[in-house]
Each structure stands twice: as C-alpha cells, then as structure tokens.
Chains A and B, each alone.
Chain A
Amino acid sequence: MKKIEIITRTFKLDEVKTALAGIGVKGMTVSEVKGFGRQGGHKEVYRGAEYQVDFVPKIKIDVVVEEDFAADVVEAARTAAMTGQVGDGKIFVSTVDEVIRIRTGETGEEAI
C-alpha cells in the first residue's frame, strides 16, 4: 500500500478531488497547511513597513491506495493540480505498513 501526499494550491482542491474520485479513489483526508518551496513567501506592506511572510497557505490531500494503483493516482493528481507556474506544489509517495478500519477491525487493503 502507498500513501500519496499531494501538497498544492488551495484553489486546486476541487479539481484534484474530482480527478481522484473519477479514477476510483474512495476516500481522502484534506488539511489546510502552510509552507514554502521555490515559490517562497511574499511581501506585505503596512504603512510603509515591509514584512516578509514566509509561509504560503496550501492544501494537503492524503490518499492511501493499493500499490498497483499508486502511479495512476499520482498522474491524475499531478495533471489536475498543474498550472505550470512556480508554487504548484509537490507529491510525496511513501509505503504504508498497515491500515486498520476502526469500525470493523479489517486490516490491509480490505481496510482502505
């Protein structure tokens, strides 16, 4: 099983969600996060005083899927989230050892 973390622009949430649902992803977790990469932060000016704001608001979508399905999910997410501009975000893929459905006690791929 793979966990796919998609960190991208907030306004891309609906497009990514629709794309993932479209290829059969059944669930996801969404968080509001802040951070910076190559885009960096931005400058704000209040009465002439400049403030550097390092952390830019982004959304993070966590999805756990079967190993064979991971590449499709990554591609769908990447296509949906891409604008071509700096600041589109990143996708991290990692291995998940175990998943447990709390209600039934099912484990592994059955629990996804």
Chain B
Amino acid sequence: MSLVDNAFILICAALVMFMTPGLALFYGGLVRSKNVLATIMQSFIMLGLVSVLWAVVGYSLSFGSDIGGVIGGLDFAFLEGVGMDATNSPASNLPHLTFMIFQCMFAVITPALISGAFAERMKFAGFMVFSALWLILVYAPMCHWVWGGGWMGEMGALDFAGGAVVHMSSGAAALCCAILIGKRKGHGSTAFIPHNLPMTILGAGILWFGWFGFNAGSALAADGLAANAFVTTHMATAAAALSWIIAEWVHGGKATTLGAASGAVAGLVAITPAAGFVTPMWAIVLGLGAGVLCYGGIMIKNKLGYDDALDVVGIHGLGGTYGALMTGVLATVGEEGLIAGNAHQLWVQFVSVVATWAFCFAMTFIIFKVVDATIGLKASGEDQDKGMDIAEHSETGYQW
C-alpha cells in the first residue's frame, strides 16, 4: 500500500465529487428560472441516493467477485470486507475504502448526467426510483464489464476513465428517455432560453476542474500515467472549446459563451476513455475533432426534433462514442491503436461501443416503462407551466 497514492486518490475522489454540484450549476443555468431548483436537485440529490445505494449493493455488483463476466457478486455488499488496508482491493496500492469511494463519485455523477435529457418535465418521485433502478441495473453491470473483471475489459476494450461506463451509458439512456418522455410543453412554439448563462459557465469550469480528478485519478496512482492523463485532459478540453466556437463562428456568425462551455465539456467527455492511452499532442487533435463533431450533433438534434433538453446525447453520447473509437485509433501510450499498427484495437472499441449503446438503451427503455406505468414520470402540462420548482418542491429559486 502506498500512502502517496492514497493521498492522491482521496483528493481525486473529492475533485470528482465536486463535479456533481458543478453539473448542477451547468444544467441549472440552462433551464428557465422556474425550473432551476428542480434541475439542480436532480444532480445534487444523487450524492445522497447513489452514495447510499453504492455502499449497500452497487459497489459489490460492480467490483465483487466476477459472475460469468456479467456482474459482480454480493461479497462486498454493505461494504463487508472493504476496509482500511488493501485486502481484496482491486488496487493493491490503495486502501480498499479509498478505491470504493473514488468509484462511488463516478457512480454519483452518471445518473445525474442523464437528467439533462428530461429536464423541465420529470416528476421527482419517478426520477428517484428511475435513478435507483438505473444505477443497479445499468451502471453497475457496465462498470463491472469494463473495470470489474467483466467481459468488456477481458476483451481488451480500452476505457481509461469511463467513456463507456459514464458517458456513452448516460448518453444512450438520455436518448431513450428524451424519446419516451416526449417534448416539454410548448416545445417548438415557446422559446426555452437559458435563464442564467454565467451559472452554466461557472458549472462548466467546475466540471473542467473536477475532471482532473476523474481522469488523472483513474491512473489509480500518483505516477507519470496520472500526469499524462492530467495533461491530455487539459489539452483536449482546451482544443475542443476552441474548435466548437470556431465551428459556430463559421456556421452561425458569432462565437458564444455557451458554445465555449459546451465545447469544453465535449472535449472532457471525448478524452475520458483515451486520457491514459494517448500523448498530449494527439489529445489536442482528438479535442479539435470533438468540438466540431458535438456542435454538429446538436445541429442534427434540432433537425430530428426530439427534445433532449440540455443536449446530453449530443455531448455525452456522441462525445463518448467518438472518444472510445478514437482511443482505438490514437492509443500509443501503454497500448497500441490503429496509428501504432494495431487495427484490431479499433474493432474491439467498435464492439464495445455497439454493446454499450444496445445494452444501455434497452435496459433504460425497460426501466422507464416500468417506472412510468407504476409511479409516473412526466409532469402534467399544468405543472410544467407552473414550473417544476413550485410543483415538485414548493420552492422558488429567486425572490423578486
């Protein structure tokens, strides 16, 4: 066990924790003022719900002893055997508790990411049950497949910090939810203008900051690989913020602040699976592509007409998929991708992408239908008019 590594990963866990309130601000600023609290709540309360579920059963299903490559066993349920030393820890240099809490923060933010798709129209009770089921039935298996000894990791799929586990999974779920829940009342006739862009940009800044813990921490040691992941994360993000605003400048005539923030998030998403496998200069190339691609993805959404309110599909789904495939192309650090002469890696990445999308979309579909039929998920038109803050929480964000 390494005290240095332990110190580093505990700090990284704290950085990743900060991403969730950062996401709450990012999303909160993008909705109308009558929905600001409900939207923030859908991120913030995941710190409560997911953390408890993670300790009870989620961690064990993700990292417990492998059952057929599909799911973890219940040996770590209720954190049994998860202690202050490295006994049974998937990372032998870290106390088991450190590894567990670092992974907990990833689990917290993932269902929160999905909430952007159904923002401004989801009932709180349904949302809580949906998120709990989604964590157990979608996130835990995905996490096990990639990192917990499951089939995807065994196949050799490269996912450094959660391109499939966090971003593609939430993106696929977001697409499913946006289609099933339907459009917000007034979609197409009312202008859904973000009520506080400075809040959104502050949130994007916090995400960028926290993402260093997310990606560098995924090295699971305070070593050179962590440094590489830190630098590639920063470079890809910087490049994507630039390429997004250049794309919209050329296409729409103005560079917007929301574009800069969105481009940064797209870059962060895209570099996530690749962070420890590419060099900083390839990270810049990857980031430049991410900004343009995700901007294009959002243009397509406006044409297709489904109401992914805060563009989870266009940024996390598309960015995560692109990042996973580009990992198979650009990997030269520790692993070899297409440019290093290993075309097979790209095929493996492709299989992991298809499997992730198919599994997450199908499971989300089932969970959504079950919760919708029992508890109900979509708020009435009247409640949407009133605003979800008043309708669901009896609060208002601003008094004026």
Chain A binder among B254-262, B268-276, B332-340, B371-379: B254-262
List residues of B (274-308) whose CB comes within 8 Å of A's CBs. 295, 298-299, 302
Residue-wise interface mask of B (244-259) relative to A, using a CB-CB cutoff of 8 A (1 in contact, 0 not): 0000100110101011
Chain A positions within 8 Å of B258 at CB level? 46-47
Q: Are A48 and B254 in contact (CB under 8 A)?
A: no
Q: Are A48 and B193 in contact (CB under 8 A)?
A: no
Residue-wise interface mask of A (34-69) relative to B, using a CB-CB cutoff of 8 A (1 in contact, 0 not): 000000000011111101110000000000000000
Q: State which of B193, B251, B299 has its C-beta within 8 Å of the C-beta of A46.
A: B193
Q: State which of A48, A51, A52 has its C-beta within 8 Å of the C-beta of B248.
A: A48
Cα-based distance from A86 to B258 in the complex (angstroms): 29
Q: Are A51 and B193 in contact (CB under 8 A)?
A: yes
Known: A45-B252, A45-B254, A47-B259. 17 other contacts (CB 8 A): A44-B193, A45-B256, A46-B193, A46-B258, A47-B258, A47-B262, A47-B298, A47-B311, A48-B248, A48-B251, A48-B295, A48-B298, A48-B299, A49-B302, A51-B191, A51-B193, A53-B191
- Does B194 lie at the interface of the complex (its beta carbon under 8 Å from any beta carbon of A)? yes
Cα-based distance from A53 to B192 in the complex (angstroms): 11
Q: Within the complex, what minimum Cβ distance (angstroms) separates B89 from chain A?
A: 42
Closest 5 pairs (CB-CB, A-B): A51-B191, A47-B298, A48-B299, A48-B298, A49-B302
Chain B positions within 8 Å of A45 at CB level? 248, 252, 254, 256
Chain B positions within 8 Å of A46 at CB level? 193-194, 256, 258
Chain B positions within 8 Å of A48 at CB level? 248, 251-252, 295, 298-299, 302
Chain A positions within 8 Å of B252 at CB level? 45, 48
Cα-based distance from A8 to B298 in the complex (angstroms): 38
Query: Which chain B residue has the least Cβ–Cβ distance from A49?
Result: B302
Query: Which chain A residue has the least Cβ–Cβ distance from B194?
Result: A46
Cα-based distance from A45 to B248 in the complex (angstroms): 10
Chain B positions within 8 Å of A47 at CB level? 258-259, 262, 298, 311
